[in-house]
Amino acid sequence: MNKTFLIIQREYITRVRKKSFILFTLLGPVFFLLISILPIIIASANKSNQKILVKDESGLFTALPDTAGLYFNFKYNGLSIEQLKGNYSSMDGGYDALLYIPEIKPDAPYGIEIFSEAQISLTTRIYLENIIADKLETINLENQNIDKQVLLKLRPKVKIDDKVTSGESQKEGDAVLASVFGYGMGFIIYIILLIYGTMVMRGVMEEKSSRIIEVIISSVKPFQLMMGKIIGIGLVGITQFMAWGFLVAILNVIIGAIFGTQLAALQQSTAAVGGEAELSVIAQTLESLSAHPIGFYLIMFLVYFIGGYFLYAALFAAIGSLVGDEETDVQMFALPVTMLILVSIFIMMAVVQQPHTPLAFWASIIPFSSPIVMPALIPFGVPAWQIALSVVCLFAGFIFTTLLAGKIYRTGILMYGKKIKVSELFKWLFYK
Amino acid sequence: MNDIMKFSSVSKRFSDVQALDNISFTIPDNTIFGLLGPNGAGKTTLIRIITKIFAADSGEITFDGQNIKEQQYANIGYMPEEKGMYKKMKVGEQLIYLGQLKGLSKLKAKEQSEFWLHKLGAADWWNKKLEDLSKGMQQKAQFIATVIHQPKLLILDEPFSGLDPVNAELIKNEIYQLHQQGTTIIFSTHRMEQVEEICNTIALINKGKLILNGNVAAIKQTHKEHLFKVAFNEVPIIDENQLFEIVTSSGNTIELKLKQPQSNNELLQYLISKGNTITAYYEILPTLNNIFINLVNKAQHE
């Protein structure tokens, strides 16, 4: 055991000390945050202030609300449209567009035009259409003597409360939030399996192609070496994730302090557009968030992370031992294993839509897909016995793949320059 | 003299190849033992069984009187034919790590690494990555990794391949010193001239079978062909005779083969009686190389 610990130590320290690891760990969250806030930054950077001159012949509009970088001016309503059309781009330092509202009836608003030198954007046009329609709606309601509040009451908001019954108890369900959790956990495990599984494979290949392998296994058992490598790299993964979590928390605080007011303003403006309805959805989501046992999810996530990682890392180690020098063959050798992971992620995406199908059940039990599928299913409510069965299968599965991989690894790491047939692999399992 | 290793009817089979076939021999304590054989003879398999990388299918191997299964990794130092260490790791760190894997404490491993690097004139390598060293330097580092834990048994598979003559000589001297300090050395090679120079005892295997085993001098005696070289002060006068036949002759020197093994003195008397003056006279013993080639060829015809 002592030697396994030495190997774990080396595998861990040499990787954690690498510049690429430190860089990736430090820049990972920055990169992630950039991706998530980039659209907002780009959108706001892209928004220019546009001045729009309005010529209203109908007399229905005295003003239009200035928002979203659009400023309206009714200053020259006295001039004719022909005069304005020729000059709007040079008047008062230049208007970007001329909105022309002819003599229209509130219930038949035809013939509205906008003139501009540069094509106005779709969002600007839709925005204009909306504010004009809003104004006309108010006028029409007044003309018909209808109270707006009455109209709203005539079409009440319908919401179906979604409850999950399991035996006696009953709990709040929320398909949207469950999907978010499910996807999130499934994807993270998928990424972990691929990144760190590949890292194990590369590590084995490095030892084989540098030929140090024979020196090492004259000091320790091949199985110890394989397990040391798998555990060491697993710890590297955990370190990286913990560092990311920590950095993201810090970055959140920093960004909150710097951009806090701006973000709040942004939220307000969206809330203003969406109205109260959206706020109540947020409140509701927060409420059902508290109904989700986050702590339990985290524990299950860890269990499936560890089980899944060991299961796949062992397979990747066995593949690494078969490849050795020929870098080009790596992808081909790894294909069967990466296929298993890819199929699992596709199943995961399907079962998040339909969580209670036979496919979902079996995929959450079979150890090759359960590490990705089960964490995605748990937020939808999975019976305790199913989780227990799945965990038992997963750990049995990882013990099985580890022993199997150990047998292949033992012989594979010493094989050079020889094409290995599948039939030979089976014979290796029975070597002394 | 005690035997440090004893092989009794050891066999090992890999799917379609009989790598070792019923091999029995012993390695005396504190010898430099030559393990010989052409490529693919089974040398590496045998070594891998000793280093516990494989287990034999059948037969028994003892190390220092103990069954090999219980033997400690710490007793053996092994330098494989294909040399290699972690390329990206620094020499000092790497030697400490490999020493620890052999069971040394961290402190002891550091001490030994420093001692050996200093001894081989490489003290300034400590913080260099292995990939930054020349091939010969890497091989020195590898040698240190092999002996760092002061093993009782040292197994060297083609230790001089890739070394320049100066470094080969340096390593050879280290091997002699270790031998004098009581280490048993198994030296695996197919380079016969090195074996003749270095080894006291040998085992020759071919196609998984043991075909020759014993003390080098004794082997030469049993395989000698009673050839003699005689030099004279002038071209000798020799008639047809019952004692010997001439193999080659050039000027004052002849090479002859005795018909009767124990007739040295008769030969000399005959030559002197012819009025010749002998200036030099010695027996030509076969080189291991010749014995090796003869035996391997013979085995192939069987």
Instruction: Give per-residue pLDDT as tens, B111-141.
Output: 999 999 998 888 888 999 988 988 888 888 9
Among A204, A210, A229, the strongest candidate for a mutation testing the B interface, having the largest count of B CBs within 10 A, is A210
End-to-end CA distance of chain B: 36
Quote the pLDDT of residue A168.
45
| Chain-chain contact of A210 with B85 (C-beta, under 8 angstroms) | yes
Q: Tell me the average pLDDT across B277-293.
A: 87
Class of domain B3-220: alpha beta
Q: Is residue A245 part of a domain?
A: yes
Residue B280 sits at the chain A interface (C-beta within 8 Å): no
Q: Which residues on A lie below 8 Å from B85 (Cβ)?
A: 210, 212, 215
Selection from B71, B56, B73, B53 nearest residue B5 by Cα: B71
| Chain-chain contact of B54 with A219 (C-beta, under 8 angstroms) | no
Q: Tell me the average pLDDT across B162-176.
A: 88
| Chain-chain contact of A219 with B102 (C-beta, under 8 angstroms) | yes
Higher pLDDT, A226 or B38: A226
Task: Report the alpha-carbon distance of residue B122 to residue B31 in Å, rounded.
Answer: 29
Among B53, B127, B161, the strongest candidate for a mutation testing the A interface, having the largest count of A CBs within 10 A, is B53
Q: Which residues on B lie below 8 Å from A217 (Cβ)?
A: 51, 53
In CATH terms, the fold of domain B225-284 is Alpha-Beta Plaits (3.30.70)
Q: Which residues on B lie below 8 Å from A431 (Cβ)?
A: 14, 54
Task: Report the alpha-carbon distance of residue A346 to residue A350 in Å, rounded.
Answer: 6
| Chain-chain contact of A414 with B48 (C-beta, under 8 angstroms) | yes
Task: Report the alpha-carbon distance of residue B84 to residue A414 in Å, rounded.
Answer: 13
**Distance between B82 CA and the closest CA of chain A, angstroms:** 6
Task: State whether A87 and A229 are in the same domain.
Answer: no
Task: State whether A193 and A235 are in the same domain.
Answer: yes
**Distance between A326 CA and the closest CA of chain B, angstroms:** 17
- Is residue B5 a contact partner of residue B62, using CB atoms and an 8 Å limit? yes
Is the model's pLDDT at A327 over the cut of 70?
no
Give the chain A residue whose CA is nearest to the CA of B74.
A219
Enumerate long-range contacts of A174-179, CB under 8 Å, 24 or more apart: A174/A285, A174/A288, A174/A291, A174/A292, A175/A380, A176/A285, A177/A285, A177/A288, A177/A289, A177/A292, A177/A379, A178/A292, A178/A355, A178/A379, A178/A380, A179/A352, A179/A353, A179/A379
Which pair of structure tokens corresponds to residue A285? 């989501």
Quote the pLDDT of residue A16.
92
Higher pLDDT, A412 or A312: A312
Quote the pLDDT of residue A263.
57
Selection from A68, A67, A71, A30 nearest residue A46 by Cα: A68
Reduced to 3 states (helix: H, G, I; strand: E, B; else coil), residue A318 is helix
Residue B115 sits at the chain A interface (C-beta within 8 Å): no
Is the model's pLDDT at A285 over the cut of 80?
no
| Chain-chain contact of A211 with B84 (C-beta, under 8 angstroms) | yes
**Distance between A219 CA and the closest CA of chain B, angstroms:** 5
Q: Which residues on B lie below 8 Å from A424 (Cβ)?
A: 15
Tell me the residues of A at the B interface, defined by beta carbons under 8 Å apart.
3, 6-7, 10, 14, 206-207, 210-220, 222, 414, 416, 424, 427, 431-432
Task: State whether A423 and A287 are in the same domain.
Answer: yes
Task: State whether A205 and A319 are in the same domain.
Answer: yes
| Chain-chain contact of A214 with B86 (C-beta, under 8 angstroms) | no
Quote the pLDDT of residue A313.
94
Quote the pLDDT of residue A432.
60
Quote the pLDDT of residue A174.
64
Domain ranges of chain B: 3-220, 225-284
Give the chain B residue whose CA is nearest to the CA of A4.
B101
Which strands form B66-67's sheet, in the order they lie side by side?
Answer: B17-28, B3-14, B58-63, B66-67
Highest mean pLDDT among A247-251, A426-430, B215-219: B215-219
Which pair of structure tokens corresponds to residue B153? 């048994």
Instruction: Provide the strand spans (E) within B64-122.
Output: 66-67, 76-79
Q: Which residues on B lie below 8 Å from A211 (Cβ)?
A: 80, 82-84
Task: State whether A242 and A303 are in the same domain.
Answer: yes
Going by pLDDT thresholds of 50, 70 and 90, the confidence category of residue A397 is very high
Going by pLDDT thresholds of 50, 70 and 90, the confidence category of residue A169 is very low
Quote the pLDDT of residue B123.
85
Quote the pLDDT of residue A74.
82
Domain of residue A127 covers: 47-153
Give the chain A residue whose CA is nearest to the CA of B143.
A215
H or E element at residue B210: strand B209-215
Assembly ipTM: 0.81
Q: Tell me the average pLDDT across B219-227.
A: 86
Mean pLDDT of chain B: 87
DSSP H helix total and E strand total for chain B: 9, 14
Q: Is residue A2 part of a domain?
A: no
Task: Note the Cα A364 to chain centre separation in Å.
Answer: 21
Quote the pLDDT of residue A417.
64
Q: Do domains B3-220 and B225-284 have the same CATH topology?
A: no
Q: Is residue A21 part of a domain?
A: no
| Chain-chain contact of A212 with B84 (C-beta, under 8 angstroms) | yes
How many domains does chain A divide into?
2
Going by pLDDT thresholds of 50, 70 and 90, the confidence category of residue A283 is low
Higher pLDDT, A275 or A372: A372
| Chain-chain contact of B101 with A214 (C-beta, under 8 angstroms) | no
DSSP readout, A343-381? HHHHHHHHHHHSTTSHHHHHHHHSTTTHHHHHHHHGGG-
Quote the pLDDT of residue B75.
87
Quote the pLDDT of residue A315.
92
Give the alpha-carbon dihedral of A22, A24, A29, A33, to 10 degrees: 140
Q: Is residue A30 part of a domain?
A: no
Quote the pLDDT of residue A13.
93
Residue B84 sits at the chain A interface (C-beta within 8 Å): yes
Task: Report the alpha-carbon distance of residue B248 to residue A310 in Å, rounded.
Answer: 73
Q: Which residues on A lie below 8 Å from B73 (Cβ)?
A: 218-220
What are the pLDDT digits (tens) for B247-278?
888 888 888 888 877 778 888 888 888 888 88
Lowest mean pLDDT among A418-422, B193-197, B290-294: A418-422
Q: Tell me the average pLDDT across A343-349.
A: 91
**Distance between A399 CA and the closest CA of chain B, angstroms:** 22
Task: State whether A202 and A78 are in the same domain.
Answer: no
Residue B127 sits at the chain A interface (C-beta within 8 Å): no
Q: Is residue A18 part of a domain?
A: no
Q: Is residue A39 part of a domain?
A: no
Quote the pLDDT of residue B180.
93
Percent of chain B with pLDDT over 70: 99
Task: State whether A386 and A256 are in the same domain.
Answer: yes
Percent of chain A with pLDDT over 70: 84
Residue B73 sits at the chain A interface (C-beta within 8 Å): yes
Please, which residues have CB within 8 angstroms of residue A379's CB and are 6 or more apart in sequence? A177, A178, A179, A181, A182, A185, A292, A297
**Distance between B74 CA and the closest CA of chain A, angstroms:** 7
Give the position of tokens 């509205």: A112
CATH, residue A147: 3.40.190.10
Going by pLDDT thresholds of 50, 70 and 90, the confidence category of residue A326 is low
What are the pLDDT digits (tens) for A240-273?
888 888 887 887 788 777 766 665 655 555 555 5
Partner-chain residue, chosen from A6, A212, A217, that has the shortest CB–CB distance to B86 = A212
**Distance between B91 CA and the closest CA of chain A, angstroms:** 13
Q: Which residues on B lie below 8 Å from A220 (Cβ)?
A: 73, 101
What are the pLDDT digits (tens) for B8-35?
999 988 877 888 989 999 999 889 999 9
Going by pLDDT thresholds of 50, 70 and 90, the confidence category of residue A312 is very high
Q: Counting beta carbons within 10 angstroms of the beta carbon of residue A406, is it exposed (0 to 12), middle (13 to 18) or buried (19 or more)?
A: buried
Q: Which residues on A lie below 8 Å from B52 (Cβ)?
A: 218
Lowest mean pLDDT among A281-285, A317-321, B68-72: A281-285
**Distance between A388 CA and the closest CA of chain B, angstroms:** 39
Percent of chain A with pLDDT over 90: 20
| Chain-chain contact of A210 with B145 (C-beta, under 8 angstroms) | no
H or E element at residue B280: strand B278-284
**Distance between B72 CA and the closest CA of chain A, angstroms:** 9
Lowest mean pLDDT among A390-399, B12-21, B97-106: B12-21
Mean pLDDT of chain A: 81
